[in-house]
Amino acid sequence: MTMPFRPLPVLSLAFTLLFLGSAEARCVQDRYGNTLCPAPDSRCVADRYGNWLCSSEGGDAALDRYGNPVCGAGRCVADIHGEVWCSTQSRGSAALDRYAKAVCTGGCAPATPSACSPLKK
């Protein structure tokens, strides 16, 4: 008996890898062609204009449901409503429980734009 192809798990995995890969701390090129490197152990995302914004060390950066960069002290995760929640502890973990509610090391806090810093030379 063969299993039917289920695209949802495949698409979910692809989205997760894309989301996680876009937030890694590595050198990037800005919209002017300048190579910029973030602080170690920080995570960065580009906004819709090509500006890179980064978390503090040990934190995380993500795009909210409107495509705006938001950051937190620890790892972040989007809940069932599309709200981004982050661990309150630097280098803390975040995950979704079986009800798609955020669960975080040290508790969860909403990710905010003010926790992000522009990536500079």
Confidence (pLDDT) at 9: 45
Confidence (pLDDT) at 3: 52
Band (120; pLDDT cuts 50, 70, 90): confident
Assign residue 41 a region (left: φ > 0; alpha: ψ between -120 and 50; beta: otherwise): left
In this predicted model, what pLDDT tens digit does every residue of 80-90 receive, in sequence order?
A: 999 999 999 99
Tell me the C-alpha distance between 44 and 47, whole Å.
Answer: 10
**pTM confidence score:** 0.76
Q: What ranges in the chain are assigned the alpha helix state H?
A: 7-22
Backbone angles phi, psi at 113, to 5 degrees: -65, -30
Tell me the C-alpha distance between 16 and 76, whole Å.
Answer: 13
